[in-house]
Amino acid sequence: MKVAVYYNNNDLRILEHPRPVLQEGEILVKVRASGICGTDVIEWYRIKKAPRILGHEIAGDIAETRTGKYTVGQRVFVSHHVPCNVCNYCRAGNHTACETLHKGNYDPGGYSEFVRVPQANVERGTYVLPGNVSYEEGTMIEPLGCVVRGQRMLDIRKGQTVLILGSGVSGLLNIRVAKLKGAEVIATDIDAYRLAQAKRSGADEVIHAQEQFQGKADRVIICTGAPAAVKQAFECVDRKGIIQFFAIPGKTAEIPLEDFWRNELTVSSTYGAAPVDLEEALELILDGRVPVRDLITHTLPLNDIQKGFKLVTEARNSLKVVILP
């Protein structure tokens, strides 16, 4: 089967790879759609494990099964990370801190024609796609699930002001979910196209990132890799407010400790999604409360994945790029 092997952002090679062989309790999924995640193009983060086959936002058809839970032909979304549900983290509701979640994955990766889904992922991370949810929309379940979790951690609700720094896919999803919760939303970006998308997604106000938001926000969500966003977040957060690192602007960040201390601020992060978040994300897509189809601006065959990475890294007139193996 064909796979795309990542060496760096400018070197993805289409190679032949053995089709995975199933063990008892596993399924083989023919990948119909695989989204390019923003984290896939964070080179300093990904290159340390290169060469590897990336891709963790997939939807497809069950091509083979060695479990009685699913049947050949079913359309599914498969989560690449699943918790154990029994460790101290899971029992406390902190599933994304679970060691099992951080170690697990499917084989070999979503940028391939087929993936083998391990038994744990079959049991706790495979979701049948309803007929009116397309494969492309299925790739949005994982990114939306991450947003659902992040905002659950922030307890976003009506009456709050939420500032979202960066209006790429994650920023736009955060806008849509925060508006669904009744918050007032201000969004920033450096790109006119993305600012227009933020407005279309429901932001009450959009601001060029080089301009200063004049108010104060109860919650600030960093959805950009720009280091300047950290400084801006601390300048714009209100007393007792929370800054959340949804994205990571580099390996380190400077925190103004005096403001942090005197204003009783909270700095938090969010990583991944738990099964409950993925289930909610699927429901939000299914009933149309959070539309996602319009965020998919490009679909490309596996052979053109290098073009897809370029679209994502350049971050111009594109949002979600989906590969169709």
For the stretch 95-106, pLDDT in tens is: 999 999 999 899
Confidence grade of residue 275 (pLDDT, cut at 50, 70, 90): very high
C-alpha 30: how far from chain center: 21
Tell which residue, 234, 260, 230, 274, has the closest CA to residue 248. 230
pTM given for the model? 0.96
Mean pLDDT within 212-232: 95
**Torsion angle defined by CA atoms of residues 311, 316, 318 and 322, in that order, rounded to the nearest 10 degrees:** 20
Task: Give buried/exposed letters for 87-121 (b at 16+ CB in 10 A, else e).
Answer: bebbeeeebbbbebbeebbbbbbbbbbbbbbbbbb
Backbone angles phi, psi at 282, to 5 degrees: -60, -40
Tokens of 192: 């006119």
Instruction: Give the pLDDT confidence score for residue 217 in this predicted structure.
Output: 98
Query: Is the sign of the CA dihedral 230, 235, 238, 240 positive or negative?
Result: positive
For residue 316, name the pLDDT band (cuts at 50, 70, 90): confident
82 and 272 in contact (C-beta within 8 Å)? no
Cα(320)–Cα(139) distance, rounded to whole angstroms? 10
Task: Give the chain's domains with CATH numbers.
Answer: 2-140+292-324 (3.90.180.10), 147-269 (3.40.50.720)
Distance between CA atoms of 28 and 40, rounded to whole angstroms?
A: 23
Q: In what order do the strands lie in the sheet with 237-245?
A: 205-208, 184-189, 161-165, 217-222, 237-245, 266-269
In the structure, what pLDDT confidence band is assigned to residue 251 with cuts at 50, 70 and 90? confident
The mean pLDDT of 278-300, rounded to a whole number, is 98
Contact criterion met (CB below 8 Å) for 244 and 150: yes
Nearest to 42 by CA among 191, 230, 248, 231: 248
- The answer to whether the CB of 243 falls within 8 A of the CB of 235 is no
122, 26 Cβ separation under 8 angstroms: yes
Q: Torsion angle of alpha carbons 224, 225, 228, 229, nearest 10°?
A: 30
Tokens of 73: 């032909």
| Residue 153: other Cβ atoms inside 10 A | 14
- What is the C-alpha separation between 115 and 171, in angstroms, rounded? 29
The per-residue pLDDT for range 34-71, each reduced to its tens digit, is 999 999 999 989 999 999 999 999 999 999 999 999 99
Query: Is residue 146 predicted with pLDDT exceeding 90?
Result: yes
